[in-house]
Structure 1
Amino acid sequence: MLLQIKDSDKLVKILEIQELLDPNSNVVQGREQKGEEEQPPDSFKKENLVFPSGEVLPRCWLDADYRKDNG
């Protein structure tokens, strides 16, 4: 899966989808996409990633308590 770093045009290939879906994990392992050469794995904060369309990640991927009432 490809995600984009907020406020940039840089794409990141997510290595472990389960890590992305886990709301208890604040970071994911990925490879920044730069040309044809594969980049080394790096850590990316989920809060800094969006879908390539610019849409934010679902809250249930970011917040383990997303079902609790915030009021």
Structure 2
Amino acid sequence: MLLQLKDTGELVKILEIQELLDPNNDVVHARQQEGEEEQPPNSFKKENLVFPSGEVLPRCWLDAEYRHGNG
């Protein structure tokens, strides 16, 4: 899955989708998509990521206290 860094607009490829979906993790491991060479994995805070469309990540991926239907 590709996401985008809010501040630079660079694309990153998420390595473990479960890590992204787990609201108890505030960091995910991904590879920046620069040029043709595969980049080494790096850590990124979920709060700094958005979908390539600019849409923010779902709250249930970010907030472990979030409950569907409450709020």
TM-score by length of 1: 0.93
The corresponding residue for 1:3 is: 3
Within 5 Å, give how 1:47-58 maps onto structure 2.
47-58=47-58
Amino acid of the structure 2 residue aligned with 1:5: L
Runs of 4+ in 1 over 3 A off after TM superposition: none
SS in 2 for 1:47: helix
Q: Please report how far the alpha carbon of residue 7 of structure 1 lies from its aligned counterpart in structure 2 after TM superposition.
A: 2.9
Q: What is the CA deviation profile of residues 7-54 of structure 1, one whole-angstrom value per residue up to 9, with x for unaligned ones?
A: 322000000000000000000000000011000000000000000000
Q: What does residue 23 of structure 1 align with?
A: 23
In 2, the alpha carbon distance for the partners of 1:8 and 1:39 equals 17
How large is the Cα RMSD of the aligned pairs?
1.4
Inter-partner Cα distance in structure 2 for 1:25 and 1:43? 11
Unaligned runs of 5+ in 1: none
- Gaps of at least 5 residues in structure 2 are none
Give the corresponding residue for 2:67: 67
**What is the letter of the counterpart of residue 4 of structure 2?**
Q
Aligned length: 70
